[in-house]
């Protein structure tokens, strides 16, 4: 798909579909800019669409005029942005509507500031995972994607957003793969391939190496599976450092989570193929970071395992010794994400990382608390949380601040080891975060629980079913804004 930026007037743009955004009218807003011009050229088609009630500008609404007079485009399309005006979603909706029936789409818009969101929407909207289908695919016909705006800053914004959104799609491709096609060894193979293509340093710790180091917590989760575990480390170092800090991006990489001996119910278990969404997001973030080159060192750590109930599996009651030396009583083998994360966190700290970010599909409880709209964010450091919040705002990925007071640690007391891996039903996401915090100690840290934002159960006008790639854009913005 070729991407181009055009400064030409809308009537001269040659393409199959020329797309414009239109707001939901609340107090008789008048048309101006590109929609005003298109309305004039078409003899009032847009005003007519509003006046008839056929189009009101609600989010995702689409109206199409074929062979618009006075224009070179084959079709003129209006996309509603709604009252809240999510232009990112509107752009994605248009993409999903037209990618199967047009070879060229151009988005014309007035504000140069919206170039990033429109590009991100268009590129993420083009994502589909149907390579396992032999028929009835949503075939992508698009060859040419254009962005029309006279401002000279638009080209750079489009290029930056293209890289970020393609990296998000790269993550989604991996996250969506089922457990048989993407076990830990395939996750690290794809991660290494990406790192090599992007010129990033890549190191993969295998089971023997992790045994030598003493990563008993991570290795404990892997015991029940025939698939060996890995800890994948990918390093980005800036040519010109603008900061002495060292960011760690740590992502949960459970390629399939059966729950282990504390096995999950059958209903909906297939979704547990997405349980490496945190790790997948970190790989996508590194892919973009390698190309956009922030001034801060960033290292990704992806502990990857399959959680299975094999004959050598971890049992409830087992006691593991983590890399830090702290012992863990495993009261539920389904609380496995935290077990692999804490060894990766200790390792990241020993590698000299000064700031830690982790992302994990960690608890069903976060979905009970926040639903599908926001990911939960937990932190031990106000400044770090602030940085993450502004990155997420820029990225259009919503985070909701959740508590992780020291008091939650009390629910994790164990009669036999230093800590237990579950803390009861009350505040399940908070006690999970408190468990991780016990290893983080005073290092500035944020933890994202993305269990319900990492994938969508249903197809949406703006998105395919499945992996969302949640987090990729936020982590990239965080690194780019770091100084
Ligand atoms: N991977 C799951 C969390 C999850 C649940 C992700 C639903 C997406 C949708 C995690 O490993 C898990 O099983 N968590 C348990 C923790 C419990 C045993 C304390 C949970 O949430 O039930
Ligand atoms: Mn689990
Ligand atoms: Zn899990």
- Cα 372 to ligand 1 centroid, rounded to whole Å: 15
The model's pLDDT over 264-282, given as tens digits with 9 standing for 90+, comes to 999 999 999 999 999 999 9
Q: Is the predicted pLDDT of residue 136 greater than 90, yes or no?
A: no
Ion ligand 3 neighbours (CB, 5 A) are 254, 257, 275, 337
pLDDT at residue 139, as a whole number:
86
Lowest-pLDDT range of 13-17, 79-83, 431-435: 79-83
Q: Are 204 and 192 in contact (CB under 8 A)?
A: yes
Instruction: Looking at the CA of 421, name the nearest ligand.
Output: 1
Q: Is the predicted pLDDT of residue 202 greater than 90, yes or no?
A: yes
Which of 218, 259, 303, 362 most suits a substitution to test ligand 1, by most atoms within 8 Å of the C-beta?
A: 362
Is 443 near ligand 1, meaning CB less than 6 Å away? no
- Cα 365 to ligand 1 centroid, rounded to whole Å: 8
* Burial class, 134, CB count within 10 angstroms (exposed 0-12 / middle 13-18 / buried 19+): exposed
pLDDT at residue 12, as a whole number:
98
pLDDT at residue 432, as a whole number:
99
DSSP, residue by residue, 206-271: -HHHHHHHT-HHHHHHHTT-SSPPEEEEEEE--SS-S-S-EEEEEE-EEEEE--TTSPPPSTTGGG
Q: Distance between CA 345 and CA 341 in Å, rounded? A: 6
Q: Distance between CA 197 and CA 200 in Å, rounded? A: 8
Q: Is the predicted pLDDT of residue 327 greater than 80, yes or no?
A: yes
Q: Is the predicted pLDDT of residue 28 greater than 80, yes or no?
A: no
pLDDT at residue 483, as a whole number:
83
pLDDT at residue 113, as a whole number:
96
pLDDT band at 27 (very low <50, low <70, confident <90, very high): confident
Is 257 near ligand 1, meaning CB less than 6 Å away? yes
Task: Output the residue whose Cα is nearest ligand 1's atom 13.
Answer: 334
Average pLDDT, the chain: 97
Pairing relationship of beta strands 399-401 and 455-456 according to DSSP bridges: unpaired
Q: What average pLDDT does range 198-211 have in this prediction?
A: 98
Q: What average pLDDT does range 446-451 have in this prediction?
A: 99
pLDDT at residue 161, as a whole number:
98
Output the pTM of the full model: 0.97
Pairing relationship of beta strands 375-379 and 62-66 according to DSSP bridges: unpaired
Q: What average pLDDT does range 167-186 have in this prediction?
A: 98
The model's pLDDT over 371-418, given as tens digits with 9 standing for 90+, comes to 999 999 999 999 999 999 999 999 999 999 999 999 999 999 999 999
Q: Is the predicted pLDDT of residue 306 greater than 80, yes or no?
A: yes
Between CA 184 and CA 194, with CA 188 as vertex, the angle to 5 degrees is 145
Ligand 1 atom with the shortest distance to the CA of 257:
1
pLDDT at residue 71, as a whole number:
97
The model's pLDDT over 206-240, given as tens digits with 9 standing for 90+, comes to 999 999 999 999 999 999 999 999 999 999 999 99
pLDDT at residue 1, as a whole number:
87
Q: Is the predicted pLDDT of residue 85 greater than 80, yes or no?
A: no
Q: How far is CA 339 from the centre of its chain?
A: 22
pLDDT at residue 434, as a whole number:
98
Q: Is the predicted pLDDT of residue 347 greater than 80, yes or no?
A: yes
Choose between 130 and 324: higher pLDDT: 324
Kindly state the percentage of the chain with pLDDT values over 70. 100
pLDDT at residue 45, as a whole number:
98
Q: Distance between CA 472 and CA 283 in Å, rounded? A: 8
Q: Distance between CA 289 and CA 234 in Å, rounded? A: 11
Is 365 near ligand 1, meaning CB less than 6 Å away? yes
pLDDT at residue 84, as a whole number:
79
pLDDT band at 137 (very low <50, low <70, confident <90, very high): confident
pLDDT at residue 26, as a whole number:
81
- Known catalytic residues are 264, 338
pLDDT at residue 58, as a whole number:
95
Ligand 1 atom with the shortest distance to the CA of 264:
13
């Amino acid at each position: 798909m070729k991407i181009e930026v055009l400064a030409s007037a809308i009537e001269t743009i040659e393409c199959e579909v020329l797309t414009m955004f239109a707001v939901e009218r609340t107090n008789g807003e008048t048309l101006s800019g590109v929609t005003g011009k298109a309305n004039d050229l078409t003899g009032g088609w847009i005003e007519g669409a509003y006046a008839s009630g056929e189009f009101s500008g609600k989010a995702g609404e689409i109206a199409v005029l074929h062979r618009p007079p006075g224009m070179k485009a084959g079709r003129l399309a209006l996309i509603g942005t709604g009252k809240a005006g999510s232009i990112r979603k509107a752009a994605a909706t248009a993409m999903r509507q037209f990618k199967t029936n047009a070879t060229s789409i151009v988005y014309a818009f007035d504000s140069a500031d919206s170039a990033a969101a429109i590009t991100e929407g268009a590129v993420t909207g083009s994502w589909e995972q149907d390579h396992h289908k032999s028929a009835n695919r949503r075939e992508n016909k698009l060859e040419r994607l254009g962005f029309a705006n006279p401002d000279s800053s638009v080209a750079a914004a489009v290029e930056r957003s293209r890289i970020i959104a393609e990296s998000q799609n790269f993550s989604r491709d991996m996250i969506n793969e089922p457990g048989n096609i993407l076990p830990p060894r395939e996750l690290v193979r794809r991660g290494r391939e990406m790192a090599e293509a992007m010129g990033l340093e890549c190191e993969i710790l295998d089971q023997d190496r992790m045994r030598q180091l003493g990563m008993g917590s991570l290795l404990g989760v892997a015991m029940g599976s025939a698939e060996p575990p890995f800890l994948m480390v990918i390093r980005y170092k800036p040519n010109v450092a603008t900061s002495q800090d060292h960011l760690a991006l740590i992502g949960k990489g459970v390629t399939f989570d059966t729950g282990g001996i504390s096995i999950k119910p059958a209903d909906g278990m297939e979704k547990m193929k997405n349980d490496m969404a945190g790790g997948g997001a970190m790989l996508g973030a590194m892919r973009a970071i390698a190309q956009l080159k922030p001034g801060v060192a960033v290292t990704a750590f992806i502990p990857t395992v399959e959680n299975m109930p094999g004959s050598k599996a971890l049992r409830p009651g087992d006691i593991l010794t983590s890399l830090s030396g702290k012992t863990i009583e495993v009261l539920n083998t389904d609380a496995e994400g935290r077990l692999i994360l804490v060894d990766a966190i200790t390792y990241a700290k020993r590698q000299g990382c000064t700031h830690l970010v982790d992302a994990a599909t960690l608890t069903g409880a976060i979905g009970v608390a926040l639903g599908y709209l926001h990911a939960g964010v937990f932190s031990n450091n106000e400044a770090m949380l602030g940085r993450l919040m502004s990155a997420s705002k820029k990225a259009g990925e919503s985070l909701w601040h959740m508590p992780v007071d020291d008091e939650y640690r009390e629910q994790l007391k164990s009669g036999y080891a230093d800590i237990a891996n579950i803390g009861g039903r009350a505040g399940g996401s908070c006690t999970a975060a408190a468990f991780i915090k016990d290893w983080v100690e005073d290092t500035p840290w944020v933890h994202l629980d993305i269990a319900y934002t990492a994938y969508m159960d249903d197809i949406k006008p703006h998105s395919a079913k499945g992996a969302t790639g949640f987090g990729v854009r936020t982590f990239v913005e965080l690194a780019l804004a770091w100084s």
